Amino acid sequence: MLNISPIFNAMLRNKSSVILMVLQVALTLAIVSNAAYIINERLELMQRNSGLDESQLFSFNIFTFDKTVDIRQQLELDEDMLRAIPGVNDAVAINQVPLTGSGDSSGYRAQIAESGAKIVEAGVFRADAHVLKTLGLTVIEGRDFTQDDVIYATGASQPNTVIITKAMADQLFPDGHAIGKDIYQFQQPLRIIGIVKHMQGSWLDSSYVNNNIFLPVVHPRSFKRILVNADKTAMDKIMSNISERMLALNKGRVVMEPIKLAEHLRDQYQSDNLMVNMLIIIICIILFITALGVAGMAIFNVNRRKRQIGTRRALGASQTNIITHFMIENFLMTTIGIIIGVVLSVFLNGYLMEYFSSSRIAISYIIVTTIGLVLLGQLAVLFPAQSAASISPAIATRSV
The residue ranges that bind another protein (CB under 8 A) are 1, 3, 6, 9-10, 13-14, 307-308, 311-321, 392-394, 396-400
DSSP summary character for residue 13: T
What secondary structure letter does DSSP report for 125? E
Nearer to another protein, 189 or 393 (CB): 393
Asked if 182 and 190 count as a contact pair (C-beta separation under 8 A), the reply is yes
Closer by beta carbon to another protein, 8 or else 208: 8
Which is closer to another protein, CB of 92 or CB of 323?
323
Shortest Cβ distance from residue 356 to another protein (Å)? 44
Residue of 382, 387, 381 whose CA lies nearest to 297: 381
**How many of the other CB atoms lie within 10 Å of CB of 32?**
26
Supply the minimum distance, in Å, between the C-beta of residue 398 and another protein: 7
Q: Determine the Cα–Cα distance for residues 351 and 357; give it in Å rounded to an integer.
A: 9
CB of 17 to another protein, least distance (A): 11
The sign of the CA dihedral 266, 267, 269, 275 is: positive
CB of 309 to another protein, least distance (A): 10
Torsions phi, psi for 218 (to 5 deg): -120, 125
Q: How many helices (H) and strands (E) does the chain have?
A: 13, 14
Q: Please report how close the Cβ of residue 9 comes to another protein at its closest, in angstroms.
A: 7
Name the burial class of residue 233, with classes exposed (0-12), middle (13-18) and buried (19+) by CB atoms within 10 angstroms of its CB: exposed
Beta strands 120-126 and 105-108 are: antiparallel
3-state helix, strand, coil in the chain (%, to 5): 55, 15, 30
Neighbours of 25 (CB within 10 A): 28
Nearer Cβ to another protein (84/315) = 315
Q: Measured from the CB of residue 400, what is the shortest distance to another protein in angstroms?
A: 5
State in angstroms the smallest separation of the CB of 306 from another protein: 11
Nearer to another protein, 314 or 374 (CB): 314
> Please, which residue, 27 or 298, has the CB nearer to another protein?
298
DSSP reduced 3-state for 89: strand
When the beta carbons of 31 and 396 are compared against another protein, the nearer one is 396
